Structure 1
Amino acid sequence: MQVTQNIKAPEMLIDYYKAIEDSSARMLEAAKHHDWDEVVRCEGACAVLIEQLRYRSQDQELPPEQRKEKTRIMQRILRNDAQIRILAEPWLAQFDHPFEGKPQVLH
């Protein structure tokens, strides 16, 4: 399954939170379909958006009326992240012991 990126350029700080949430939801969808390459791509998009948010928040402040919305968005992102981690645990476990069960050839 290929999840396409369709994130519009954020204009206000709250738009960054919404875009990060959207990317987080895409990551979760990809994880549900075991599309780990797409999970990694979405994670990269999240990282870029987070950096942009950090930069923009240096000279902008979130209006008081949007702070509750930010809190709700952050809670949804955290829930998505927890679900992604649960889904990814078996996939990540294979990297703990990459040579387990495979014959090792030493040269």
Structure 2
Amino acid sequence: MEMISIYENVATITDQMLSAARNGDWDLLSKLESDCTSQVQILRIREVEQELSPDLRSRKIQIIRKILADDKEIRNLTEPWMAQLANVMRSSESHRKLTRTYGSS
């Protein structure tokens, strides 16, 4: 039952991450991502092959599906922002190179 509780914690965090991504709160998203990573590490350490009752196995699958769905939507929201950020950074770097080469005008 403890493992299910940790899976539920991860699901709660990914839900909060999705909300932060929808709101464009990248600082909160980053903090929550760190929290999520910590919980997943706990799962990796503590989870051993154990027999779950059919109800618990079904609950675990349901939670994992929600986590994966949230993760997919978070990626859909963050990838365009990341691409935009990469473009800005490339543009800024190009500007610096031009300034170094030709001087400022």
In the superposition, the TM-score normalised over structure 1's length comes to 0.79
Identify the residue that residue 17 of structure 1 maps to in structure 2: 7
5+ residue gaps, structure 2: none
Pairing 1:30–2:20 present: yes
Matched residue type, 1:44? S
- RMSD over equivalenced CA pairs, Å: 2.0
| Counterpart-to-counterpart distance in 1, 2:90 and 2:61 | 43
In the superposition, the TM-score normalised over structure 2's length comes to 0.80
Identify the residue that residue 100 of structure 1 maps to in structure 2: 91
Q: Which runs of 4+ in 1 moved over 3 A?
A: none
Identify the residue that residue 61 of structure 2 maps to in structure 1: 71
CA contact (8 A) 1:23 1:42 kept: yes
| Counterpart-to-counterpart distance in 2, 1:21 and 1:62 | 22
| Counterpart-to-counterpart distance in 1, 2:73 and 2:32 | 15
5+ residue gaps, structure 1: 1-10
| Counterpart-to-counterpart distance in 1, 2:67 and 2:43 | 15
Identity %: 29
The structure with higher relative contact order (CA 8 Å, sep 6+) is 2
Q: Would you say how many aligned residue pairs link Structure 1 and Structure 2?
A: 96
Select the structure of larger CA radius of gyration.
Answer: 2
